[in-house]
Every structure is written in structure tokens, then in C-alpha cells.
Amino acid sequence: MKLSIPFERVDWINTVFLLIISLLAVIAAPIYLWNHGMNGFLAGMFAFYCIATGMSITLGYHRLFSHLSFKAKWPVRLFTLVFGACAFENSALNWVSDHRRHHKHTDHDDDPYDISKGFFWAHIGWILFKVRPEPPLDNVQDLRKDPLVMWQHRWDKMIALVVGLILPAVLGYFFAGGWNGALGGFLIAGVLRVFCVQQCTFFINSLCHTIGRQPYSTRCSARDSFVMSLFTFGEGYHNYHHEFQHDYRNGVKPWNFDPTKWAIWVLSKIGMASDLRRVPDTKVLLAEMAEARRRADVELARLHASDHPWRDKAVESMNSLIERLSANYHDLEKAMADRVDLSRKALRNWSRETKEMLDHLSAIRRGRSVPA
């Protein structure tokens, strides 16, 4: 098979930079660790930079600047702008513009990281190849009013270089043993950390549009992935996020692993953040019920077309399941319209019943049982 690369469209600056970072991260950093080992200071600095830059992307670039899911005081904005730049993922203004287009045109041509162009394109291809003409920054007018955002937009490469790569080397020199420590600071807290944080962000655009559950909607390819949430400070709950993008939480359930939502909540308690936006539990549950009903309809159509020995019995069970789902959906919808103050217990019951019905649905799909 002939591999054709459109060289005329390659963004050479991005490509060479990502190539150097990747080679240093997978070859030079392990060689350094093999020869010099990891001391406590380097490990601490690596952890600090991973958390500071990773969360500046999730909490700052994404939930604060892209989706305005809460308001933040200037120290939070300044911190996330400085350390967000150190992730080498472009200025906040550019990042937000791309991301807002991703939400507006998900899975379509104007989506910068459109998964329908393939996993590689959504992951990194869109950074390596230029789309001509370059789309205008016409969807970030609100952010242009923030002087801190505009300052970072002007200096983001310089900030990234000085704070993201040179500073770890300087700190390594003074606190981790001279020139060896400087090299360690540069390679481990600088280069290896940039590689890890970037790849985790990229996987949200690729993996979370490919593998995972879709409990809230199948309108687009976005999926929930608990595993990805572990590596991205809670951004893995991407199906929920695409359905309710202005919610400051991505992991909406209390048990979901979402350190970014916890950090925003803590910031609000110490007066650094306010106006946290959250979707009411009733609306979230309604979306889950609608999705369960849609799945039941699909399964019913599949059963009708099958020649399974107990097809008629399964169709009958499926019809009663759909009836119950519809009744619950309409009851909840009516309660919301009438502004009835629903107790947590009532919502829990509806939620549990929806989950039980989904379990029955999977049992029928797998041909394991026919519910009574």
C-alpha cells in the first residue's frame, strides 16, 4: 500500500517540535533515568508540573475559558494562563477558539479534530497538517476583553519556554545536584511532562470519541471513559460533557473521578471562584431516560427482524419495558414542567429503575434472558 503524505500541508514548526519532544521523552529521558535515577526533588517537580499544567488546561483553558462554566478571580486566571502555556498547547485564545468549534461542529468538517476523519487525525493529525485557510478567531470576542488572556496570547511561547522548560532546569541545577540536576529538570519535569500532558489531552479528542459508554446521548461520537478520567483530571466523562458543556462538572455523579470539579468547588469555598454552573439532576436524569428509551427502540427493531426462537416473548417484554420507560419519562417531564420539588429519594428511585431497565435490555441483547 502506498502511503501518501500531503507534504504541502505539513505544519513544519508543529511537526518538528512534536517530533523533538517525543524523541527526547521516549529516548533521552529514560536514558537519563537509567544513568542517574530519580531523586525526590525531581519526582516532586515532575508531579507539580504535571498537575499544574494539566489542570491549567482542564480547569483553565477548558472549563473556565472555553465554556465559562464558572467565574474566577485574577490569581486563578493568571496561574492557569501561565501554566497552561507551559503545556505547549497554544495560547488560551487559540485553544478556546478550536475547542468551541469542536463543540459547535462535532463530527463534521468544521470540527478541527473531527473523529470522522480518523483516529490519527483527531489525535494529532490536525496539529501536524494545516487547514487552509486558517479559520478566523471570531468566536472568542468575550475573551478578548480579558487583559490577562490577551497578554498570554502575545507571550505564550516565551512563557512556555521560560517557565515550562528553562525554570525546571534552573531549579534542578540548584536543588538536584548541579548540571546533572539541570539536565534532569529539563528532561523530566520539562520535556517528559510536556509529552505526557499533551498525549493525555490528545487522547480526549481521539479515544473519548471512539471507545466508551454513551449514557446521556448518541447525538455525537463523544463517549465516557473512566480510565481516561484518571489521566486527565476528570475530563474522561466526555459524553456527559458534550451533552451539557456548560456544567463545571464533567463527572456529574458524586462517585465520578473528577479532580477538576473538586478543585473548582474548593476554589469557590475560598472565594477564588464563583457562579459555578450545574445542570439540575432532573435534566440529567431525563437525558438518561431518553437515551435508554432510544436504545430500547433500536433493540425492538432488531428483535422484530430476528428469527430467534423466543422472539415473540422478547418483543412482548421489550414493549412493556418501553412502556414503563416512556411513562417514567413523561412523569418526570411533567413534574419538571409543573415545577414540583422532587425529593432526592424520588430521583434516586427513577434513576435506579432506569438502570435496572438498561440491565434487562443488555440481557435481552446478549440473548441471556427474557424479562418477565
| Site size for Zn ion (CB under 5 A) | 1
From residue 154 to residue 193, the character string flagging contacts with Zn ion as x (rule: CB under 5 A) and all else as - is: ----------------------------------------
Question: Site residues for Zn ion, window 23-52 (CB under 5 A)?
Answer: none
* In the complex, minimum distance from the CB of residue 205 to Zn ion, in angstroms, rounded to a whole number: 6
How far apart, in whole angstroms, are the C-alpha atoms of residue 218 and residue 295? 10
SS3 call for 247? coil
3-state SS, residue 3: coil
Closest CB to Zn ion among 222 and 300?
Answer: 222
Under DSSP, the state recorded for 166 is: I
Near Zn ion by CB under 5 A, which window of 148-156, 215-223, 335-343, 349-357?
215-223
Residue 111 burial (10 A CB sphere; 0-12, 13-18, 19+):
buried
Least CB distance to Zn ion at residue 209 (A): 6
CA distance 181 to 173: 5
CB nearer to Zn ion: pick between 15 and 210 = 210
Output the smallest distance, CB 176 to Zn ion, in A.
37
Minimum CB–partner distance for residue 151 and Zn ion (Å): 24
Q: Which is nearer to Zn ion, 241 or 295 (CB)?
A: 241
Select the residue whose beta carbon is closest to Zn ion and give its number: 222
Residue 277 phi, psi (nearest 5)? -95, 130
Map grid coordinates 533515568 to a residue. Answer: 33
Q: Which stretch binds Zn ion (CB under 5 A): 11-19, 164-172, 219-227, 280-288?
A: 219-227
Sign of CA dihedral 30, 36, 42, 43: positive
CB of 152 or CB of 245, closer to Zn ion: 245
Nearer to Zn ion, 222 or 318 (CB): 222
Stretch touching Zn ion by CB under 5 A, among 8-16, 222-230, 269-277, 310-318: 222-230
By CB under 5 A, which span of 133-141, 214-222, 282-290, 298-306 interacts with Zn ion?
214-222
- Residues with Cβ within 8 Å of residue 178, at least 6 apart in sequence: none
Strand, coil or helix: 342: coil
Nearer to Zn ion, 56 or 328 (CB): 56
Stretch of 38-46, 218-226, 249-257, 356-364 lying at the interface with Zn ion (CB under 5 A): 218-226
Residue 72's H or E segment, with its range, is strand 71-72
Least distance (Å) between residue 110 CB and Zn ion: 14
Residue 106: enclosing H or E segment and its boundaries? none
Query: What is the Cα–Cα distance from 123 to 140, expressed in whole angstroms?
Result: 23
| Of residues 334-363, those binding Zn ion (CB under 5 A) | none
User: Cβ closer to Zn ion: 159 or 222?
Assistant: 222
Nearer to Zn ion, 39 or 256 (CB): 256
Rounded least distance, CB 63 to Zn ion, Å: 8
Q: How far is the CB of 277 from Zn ion (least distance, A)?
A: 13
Q: Give the separation between CA 230 and CA 313, rounded to whole angstroms.
A: 42
CB neighbour list of residue 346: distance below 8 Å, 6 or more residues apart: none
State which residue, 235 or 299, has the beta carbon closest to Zn ion.
235
Q: Which of 213, 209, 206, 251 is nearest to 230 (CA)?
A: 251
- Residue 12: Cβ-neighbour burial (10 angstroms; 0-12, 13-18, 19+): exposed
Interacting span for Zn ion (CB under 5 A) from 120-128, 140-148, 156-164, 220-228:
220-228
Here the cell at position 122 is 483527531
Binding site for Zn ion (CB under 5 A): 222
